[in-house]
Amino acid sequence: MPYQKYWLMKSEPTSFSFEDLVRSKKSTNHWDGVRNYQARNYMREMRVGDKVLFYHSSCDEPGVVGLAEVMRTAYPDHTQFDPADVHYDPKATRDRPIWDMVDLRAIKPLRGPAGLDVLRKTKGLEKMVLLRRGSRLSVQPVSRKEWEIIVRLGG
């Protein structure tokens, strides 16, 4: 396998939670709805086997709740073509898709969820994209060390 990378992906648990991923067939599902170019471009960099921190946002306890891995590299997000979908993009066509998604498989939940408050206080995570002021990217790169620290936090 080529060089393996680490990522963090945000989801609002009310729309799609880590538990939803676990309950999916083969614990695998597609990650649709990304509508930000930088986040999309990061997804395009993903390779099968890359590891992902699954983050819950806009909820009572925001934080990393589970580990996942990339099962399929970027391919067109079907929701961009569907006028009935909230993520519909009239500028996208089947011939010229704009937005991509990847498939993820749940590896395991973190026993002690690594809450945002905890992450902020944890040594070695000072430079995490997630913790940068004003950072809103829903798909972000994570360093190997950051990954290891957070996995250790989660037991």
Partner DNA sequence: GCCAACGTTGGC
Residues that bind DNA (CB under 7 A): 10, 12, 35-38, 57-59, 62, 116-117, 133-138
Alpha helices (runs of H) in 35-86, residue ranges in sequence order: 37-45
Nearer to DNA, 48 or 116 (CB): 116
Nearer to DNA, 45 or 49 (CB): 45
**Token pair recorded at residue 109:** 């939940």
How far is it, in rounded angstroms, from Cα 130 to Cα 96?
31
Measure the CA angle with vertex 130, ends 15 and 103; round to 5°. 45
**At closest approach, how far in Å is the CB of 136 from DNA?**
4
**At closest approach, how far in Å is the CB of 120 from DNA?**
7
Nearer to DNA, 10 or 51 (CB): 10
Burial state string for 100-114 with b = 16 or more CB within 10 A and e = fewer than 16: bbbbbbbbeebeebb
Nearer to DNA, 4 or 16 (CB): 16
Among the listed residues 57, 92, 59, 64, the one whose alpha carbon sits nearest the alpha carbon of residue 78: 92
**At closest approach, how far in Å is the CB of 88 from DNA?**
12
**At closest approach, how far in Å is the CB of 111 from DNA?**
20
